[in-house]
Amino acid sequence: MAENKNSLINVRGVNFQNTTLDGTVDALLAGVREKRQTALYTPNSEIVQACIEAPELYEVINSAELIIPDGIGVVKAAKILGTPFGAGKIAGCEVGEAFIKRLSETEHTVFLLGGKPGVAEQAAQKLSEKYPGIKFAGTHDGYFKKEGEENDAVIAQVNESGADVLYVCLGAPAQEKWIYQNRAKLTTVNALLGLGGSLDVYAGTVKRAPKIFIRLGLEWFYRLLCEPWRFKRMLKLPKFYFGTWKHKMTKG
């Protein structure tokens, strides 16, 4: 169920919130304060295209209470479809950091799940230096079997930690599927954030694109230059873009 039905923008079947970075952080904090479990997904156009190509993924993606557009492709598509976002792209990793900042002024605790071994610990350390009041309940890398005993052990570790907030950084759509399948078993967590490679950014093992690329809407291009293996994944982008025009022409 979405937070605020009035502010939804449907982009090719995915129900995004028409919100801001601060609005997203406020909604997450309200969920934690009121003990109302809230999940945040930050799909880009690759993920929306993945839903179009495998419609069973819509149920997983649309299950989150908060879905924000973390990609210039989604923002452009909304414009093409005549329902533009007020605030444009909202970067998931910026929401994640802004939420840590807000949580550092509270007693709520955070568990970081994901990334290669050592990355979550390093992210926790760097974030603690930057936001001294933040309380981490635990960390775990993202390279475990996502079902069976190994998965149960991760769930048990999060539950025993008593964390109020869980960052799930396993890459998309693996993290959204993991949250969808496991959120009911997480007994203390009231905010779940699916944030892709954000722990790498917080840990400093991956750099975000320079501001000029972000401003020009070319963050995806910078990532392609740094990580050329993304080329195959990014083939979904032109498909999504032209498909959106076709969708507009045929559906009005």
Residues within window 192-231 making contact with ligand UDP, judged by CB under 6 A? 196-197, 199-200
Shortest distance, CB of residue 172 to ligand UDP, whole angstroms?
4
Shortest distance, CB of residue 201 to ligand UDP, whole angstroms?
9
Q: Which stretch binds ligand UDP (CB under 6 A): 3-11, 26-34, 56-64, 170-178?
A: 170-178
The arrangement of strands across the sheet holding 66-67 comes to: 66-67, 38-41, 191-194, 165-169, 109-114, 135-140
Distance CA 177, CA 78 (A): 24
Q: Is residue 96 close enough to count as binding ligand UDP by CB under 6 A? A: no
Q: Which stretch binds ligand UDP (CB under 6 A): 17-25, 94-102, 164-172, 183-191?
A: 164-172
Shortest distance, CB of residue 145 to ligand UDP, whole angstroms?
10
Q: Closer to ligand UDP by CB, 73 or 115: give it.
A: 115
The residue whose Cβ lies closest to ligand UDP is 142
Q: Is residue 243 close enough to count as binding ligand UDP by CB under 6 A? A: no
Judged by CB under 6 A, the number of residues near ligand UDP is 13
Q: Is residue 176 close enough to count as binding ligand UDP by CB under 6 A? A: no
Q: Is residue 143 close enough to count as binding ligand UDP by CB under 6 A? A: yes
Q: Closer to ligand UDP by CB, 3 or 176: give it.
A: 176
Binding stretches for ligand UDP (CB under 6 A): 114-116, 142-143, 169-172, 196-197, 199-200
